[in-house]
Amino acid sequence: MDIGIDLGTTNSVLAFLRGGPEVIPIKGRTLLPSALAYEDGEWLVGTAAKSLAATKEYVVTSPKRAMGTDTTYTIAGKTYTPVEMSAMILKEIKKHAEEFLKEPVTSAVITIPAHFNQKQVDDTRKAAELAGLKVGKLLAEPVAASATYGAGGEEVLLVFDLGGGTLDCTVVETFDAKILGLSGDNFLGGDDFDYRIVDRMTKHLHDEHGLDVSNDPKTRLLLKAHAEKFKIDLSEAQGTQVEASPKINGKRYQIDFRLTRQEYNEMIKDLVDKALERADEAVARANMEKSDIDVVLLVGGSTLTPYVQERLAAHFGKPPSKRVDPMLAVGLGAAICTRDLPWDDKTHRVLLRSRAEVWSKPSYTVRGRTTPDSKVEITGAAQPADTTAGPNGQFTAEVAMTENATHDLNVVATAPTGETAKVIHRIRHDPGAGQEAEPPAPSIVRPTLPRNVFVELKEFKTATLVKHGTTLPTTGESRDFFCSRNERAFTLSIPLHEGHSPEAEIPYGPFNTKMGVLLLECPPTEIDTPLVVAYHIDDSRKMTVECWFADRPSVKGTVTLDCKSLTREDMHLIERTETAVGQAGERLRPDEKARLNRKKQALIDLCESYRASQSEDTRKQIIELGNELKAEIKTLELKYKI
């Protein structure tokens, strides 16, 4: 069977289709904390792991927040990556799905933030593969949430998805099922709210006990486990008593102070300000005004914070929608979208075309697709039914219904090879409902590309290959490139990047991230030779790119997009600084050399900081420092004739 998974920063959700979408409980809970703990030689996942966060050393929380980075975790002498940690969470989810369904999981729709960069997307795919899951689709979280919302007619939604560690703001037009604009922050969420309370607890320890733990990550993680509870209390009451007795360096310290909701609102105000800025950016990218938004849809646990809801209502002039549970909307939407997974002839599965959840006639027609010539058996109706799939895999079967009863129709298809596949369709018989025709298929919003993909040219210039906002899947090619003449055979290297600012030089910011390099073996050429660069990006953002000479299409170069995290080699301005210092040599005054090296290192530090935070303030600092450094290098080049 197919499942939907919301792989969340703080909590994950497992769901499947049984007529409508349903959450599969994990150990009796609808939410699985995205936490892991290593104890007594075994890994614990979920609630048990989270409960140990305040007391045990080997605990990892929110590994999703580190996807796409070079972060590692050292546990009991062994090093793990965020991909491996996320794979353990997905493996736990898969295990519970199969225990509940009593069937193997065929494939999974796994959700990702719409604003994830390519490295983060690929890391998520790798984690699923490590967990033994076949990825049916990687689905943008706002697409999943809008499927759960199920809007009809002509509405413009702002899906405001503020989770534990990421923010997605997406403008969706329901009539055309299109994403019109998006923005976000991959490092803004409820965890940041928690740490504002941690800061207050840290100040209390300093003021009352003279203890400074502001730079002690282990103690701050311990305090965060308490802070989350107080945050939840403040969503339900106007104040809470912050009480904790943390053991720090072998000694217990008492924390005890009153925190009001108003004080807490002030503590997180700048974070909510930033979230609203991203919402405005999404609206602007959709070429709309705030007044054009019909519905603000809340998604993610952090939108349960009253202050977030109040600010959204004031900002957009209407109360946000609570039509769907913000905690479950993405997971349920992932399950809904399993219905529309692409068909794979290599995998034996059952895909139902039947969608009705209520039916008024005495019998119901089950329609679907499976492996050609499979035997299809249906139980759970008033009487069992069977049929055989045709040469194209299509099948129909009429089943009798018991009046005013709910039926779980178990549809089992047995392939000619003997392999079986199963789906469950829950439908309720109600003679008075007036439901005698299948409801129309819901319009699933098609995902879009969140960043430009562009080619690096000579002299640090770039050319856009695929524009952000392009609806996926997409296929195309560009014939705007050419290879300069060369007397000898050589290997042509074409770097590919993704980012928001393709018009800027590559150095200006890690928001322009290197994805990989196209390599093409080239014979000697006497003239400039036109090149073709072709691409395909599927709706899970899996990308392939290749290039060839326009007059020799049989000789192609391909690229494996390794999407490495930003490295110093990617930063051409830093390389240019090092070149200038080296070529000036002894002519360079010591103070000039020191100043250049100091600014070069500052730029490296800012770039690495931006990679982790995606902060707009840091981005502005990178641009300002880059401009300063560029001007100084130009002056030195003229002065020393470099």
DSSP annotation of 388 reads: E
Please check whether residue 228 lies inside any domain of the structure. Answer: no
pLDDT at 568 over 80: no
Do 408 and 508 belong together in one domain?
Answer: no
- Taking residues 189-203, report their average pLDDT: 93
Domain end (from 564, 580, 598) = 564
298 in the same domain as 376: no
Tens digits of residue pLDDT in 292-304: 999 999 999 999 9
Q: How far is CA 94 from the centre of its chain?
A: 19
- Show the domain range for 495: 452-564
3-state DSSP assignment of residue 349: coil
Q: 19: alpha, beta or left, given left = phi > 0 and alpha = psi -120 to 50?
A: left
Q: State residue 566's pLDDT score.
A: 39
Indicate if 370 and 511 belong to the same structural domain. no
Does 232 map to a domain?
Answer: no
Do 154 and 44 reside in the same domain of the chain? yes
pTM above 0.85, yes or no: no
Residues 6+ away with beta carbon under 8 Å from 327: 11, 13, 30, 31, 300, 301, 304
| Same domain, yes or no: 26 and 132 | yes
Q: What is the CATH number of the domain that holds 466?
A: 2.60.34.10
Q: Which of 549, 564, 579 is the endpoint of a domain?
A: 564
97 or 165, greater pLDDT: 97
d(CA 60, CA 252): 23
Domain boundary among 531, 564, 597: 564
Q: Is the pLDDT of residue 625 over 90?
A: no
The pLDDT assigned to 279 comes to: 96
Give 576's pLDDT tier (boundaries 50, 70, 90): low
Quote the CA–CA distance of 552 and 539 in Å, as a whole number. 30
Answer yes or no: are the C-beta atoms of 225 and 203 closer than 8 Å: no
pLDDT at 595: 82
Is 523 inside a domain boundary? yes
* CATH number, residue 321: 3.30.420.40
Confidence of residue 632 (pLDDT cuts 50, 70, 90): confident
| Full 3-state SS string of 519-562 | EEEECCECCCEEEEEEEEECCCCCEEEEEEECCEEEEEEEECCC
Same domain as 489, residue 413: no
Q: What average pLDDT does this structure show over 94-102?
A: 95
Q: Are residues 472 and 407 in the same domain?
A: no
The answer to whether position 246 is within a domain reads: no
- Only one residue has tokens 């050419």, namely 482
| 583 lies in the same domain as 528 | no
B/e letters for 472-482, b = 16+ CB within 10 Å, e = fewer, are bebeeebeebe
**Residue 342: band (very low, low, confident or very high) from pLDDT cuts 50, 70, 90:** confident
Backbone angles phi, psi at 582, to 5 degrees: -65, -40
pLDDT of 54-69, one tens digit each?
677 788 988 998 888 7
Concatenating the DSSP letter of every residue in 394-432 gives EEEEEEE--TT-EEEEEEEEE-TTS-EEEEEEEEEE-TT
The SS3 call for residue 278 is helix
Residues 560 and 608 in one domain: no
**What's the pLDDT score for residue 451?**
85
Residue 602 lies in a domain: yes
Residue 560 has pLDDT above 60, yes or no: no
Q: Are residues 163 and 60 in the same domain?
A: yes
Q: State the total domains in the chain.
A: 4
| pLDDT tens column, 217-273 | 778 888 988 898 999 999 999 999 999 888 888 889 999 999 999 999 999 999 999
How many other C-beta atoms lie within 10 A of the C-beta of residue 91?
A: 17
Element (H, E) at 299: strand 295-299
Which pLDDT value is given to residue 590? 80
248 within domain boundaries = no
Does residue 331 lie within any of the structural domains? yes
Whether residue 43 lies inside any domain: the answer is yes
| In a shared domain, residues 33 and 176 | yes
> What angle (nearest 5°) sits at the alpha carbon of residue 570, between those of residues 566 and 575?
135
Name which of 540, 533, 532 is nearest 473 in CA terms. 540
H/E segment holding residue 244:
strand 239-244
148 and 38 belong to one structural domain: yes
Q: Which helix (H) or strand (E) holds 364?
A: strand 363-369
How sure is the predictor about 561, in pLDDT bands with cuts at 50, 70 and 90? low
